[in-house]
Amino acid sequence: MAATTTRLRVNLAVLAAVVVIGTAGFVVTEGLSPLDAVYFCIVTVATVGYGEIHPVTAAGKVLAILVIVAGVGTFVGVIANLFETWMERRERLGRRKKVYMLIGAFFTTTGTPLLRGFARADPLIGTIREELMVTANWSAKDFARMKKVVRTHDSGPALSGIDLEDLLAFLSEKNDFLLRLMENPILLEDEAFTEVLHATFHLADELSYRDDLTALPESDLHHLTGDLRRAYLATMYQWLDYMEHLQATYPYLFSLAARTNPFNPGASAIVE
């Protein structure tokens, strides 16, 4: 996409230069008005060639040849680049839809339950809970503001509110599903969600390597607190991004996701 955009910009710049130089040249060599000169350049470059205006001087004919050689190829290049850009954008949007389908499956099976448990154990969740009550009236600015809040949220799940054995059992149960997500090449395009999966897998690995999760030293508990916080904040950020996508594209899915908001202690799928 970046290479196509670069080529398009270069071709547009060259085409604009050809038209400007050609217009000025025809004004000087053929004595045309600026409007007629621009018109002649455009119909020449676009290969229309109506024929009512044509160069009569030797200098004008040479200039016309140069405009044809430099302009026609560039014009065709611009059209081809525009079509290529449109096709790439269409393909990218199609891939993004598939990515969000996978992200949705993650939150349905794993992400939302994790966030619900993490949020209950977050001692400072009360400072941002109300702000996390996403509604259909949220704008792009609201989502952007809340993402910044999440990035700077100086808290995480307290181990006193987390049953590590239950958490490990839950993550082990979801292991095959998460592995299949990691194997999907489409997800490589989404760095934020890849970060969520890495943080979740790392947390599961940390827990699985400990023989007894009920008798850990304080230093190790401090280490695990950092792993919990990393997974918590990364998943929270991704949840906001997913909610923004649903609000813009799938209102019915957004309605369910908003009613089951993991940060709302009284959340219920039942419509009241």
Distance CA 236, CA 122 (A): 12
End-to-end CA distance of the chain: 46
Q: Specify whether the CB–CB gap between 30 and 55 falls below 8 A.
A: yes
Q: Specify whether the CB–CB gap between 37 and 23 falls below 8 A.
A: yes
Residue pLDDT, tens place only, 183-211: 888 877 788 899 999 999 999 999 999 99
Query: What proportions of the chain, in percent to the nearest 5, are helix, strand and coil?
Result: 75, 0, 25
Residue 64: both structure tokens together: 């016309």
Give the 3-state secondary structure of residue 139. Answer: coil
Hey, what domains does the chain have and what are their CATH numbers? 2-89 (1.10.287.70), 96-259 (no CATH)
From first to last of the 272 residues of the chain, give the pLDDT tens digit: 567 778 878 888 888 888 898 889 889 888 888 898 888 888 888 877 767 777 888 888 888 888 888 888 788 888 888 888 777 777 777 777 888 999 999 999 999 999 999 999 999 999 999 999 999 999 999 999 999 999 999 999 999 999 999 999 999 999 999 999 888 888 777 888 999 999 999 999 999 999 999 999 999 999 999 999 999 999 999 999 999 999 999 999 999 999 999 999 999 988 87
Torsion sign across C-alpha atoms 66, 67, 73, 77? positive
Residue pLDDT, tens place only, 36-87: 888 888 888 887 776 777 788 888 888 888 888 888 878 888 888 888 877 7
What pLDDT sits at residue 76?
A: 81
What pLDDT sits at residue 1?
A: 58
Q: Does the reported pTM lie above 0.85?
A: no
Distance CA 148, CA 206 (A): 28
Residue 51 CB neighbours (<10 A): 7
Distance CA 257, CA 249 (A): 13
